[in-house]
Amino acid sequence: MEVTLRTQPDYHVAYLRYVGPYGTAEITQLWNVLKRWRQSQTWGAETRQLLGISHDDPTITPPHLCRYDVCVEFDLDTLPGGDFGVQTIPGGAYACARFVGPVAEIGAAWQWVFMEWLPANGYERDARPCYERYRSDMAELPEGGILDCEICIPVTQRRSRPSRR
C-alpha cells in the first residue's frame, strides 16, 4: 500500500454517530440512513464527499465504547437539521493511503499505517481525527464487498528525544 503526505482541506460535515464495535451491521444501517437523507436534499448532497470518522483506537478503547461518525460534506450556509450533528474535520498534514479490498481487511490496513509506515518515516499521529474518504457509496456496498477508500491519518514530524548522558 502506498502512503502519501498530503495537505487536506477542512471538511464541514453533517454526521450521525454510532457507539459500539467497528465493522458491524449497525454502521451499514447508518450509512443507509445517510443515503436516504442525501437523496431528499435539494442542495446537491448527492455529490458531496462521504467520510467516516473512527474516533477511538479499538486496541485501547473497549469495543462497546468506540465512536464512529458517518459523514457527508455540506456548505456552512445549509444546516442539516434532524438527528444530524455538525462538525468540522480540521485540515492540515495527513498521511493518506488508498485501500481497495474487502471491508474485513481495512483494520489491518489501518494498523500497518500506524505501526509500520508512520514510525519508519519519522511521523506520529496528532490529535485531529483520523478518517476514511470514500470513493464508493457506502450505502451500496454489498456485504463482503470491495471497499474503495482513502485512509487519512493526521500527522506531525516525530519529535526526537534528547539523548541521555
What is residue 110's predicted lDDT score, i.e. its pLDDT?
A: 93
Distance of CA 50 to the CA centre of its chain: 9
Indicate the pLDDT class of residue 164, thresholds 50, 70 and 90.
Answer: low
Helices (H), the chain: 25-40, 106-112, 118-120
Q: Is 22 in contact with 83 (CB distance < 8 Å)?
A: no
Residue 82's nearest CA partner among 32, 14, 137, 26 is: 14
Beta bridge partners of 156: 124
Structure-model confidence comparison of residues 110 and 36, the more confident one: 110
pLDDT tier, 139 (very low <50, low <70, confident <90, very high otherwise): low
Q: Please indicate whether residue 58 or residue 87 has the higher confidence score (pLDDT).
A: 87
Which pLDDT does position 18 carry in this prediction? 97
Q: Are 45 and 38 in contact (CB under 8 A)?
A: yes
Per-residue confidence (pLDDT) for residue 163, from 0 to 100 = 55
| Averaged pLDDT of the chain | 87
Check pLDDT > 90 for residue 94: yes
pTM for this prediction? 0.84
Grid cell of 58 as nine digits: 479499538
Residue 136 DSSP symbol: S
Domains of the chain: 3-157 (3.20.80.10)
Taking CA atoms, 27 is separated from 6, 22, 48, 86, 164, in Å, by 28, 8, 19, 18, 48
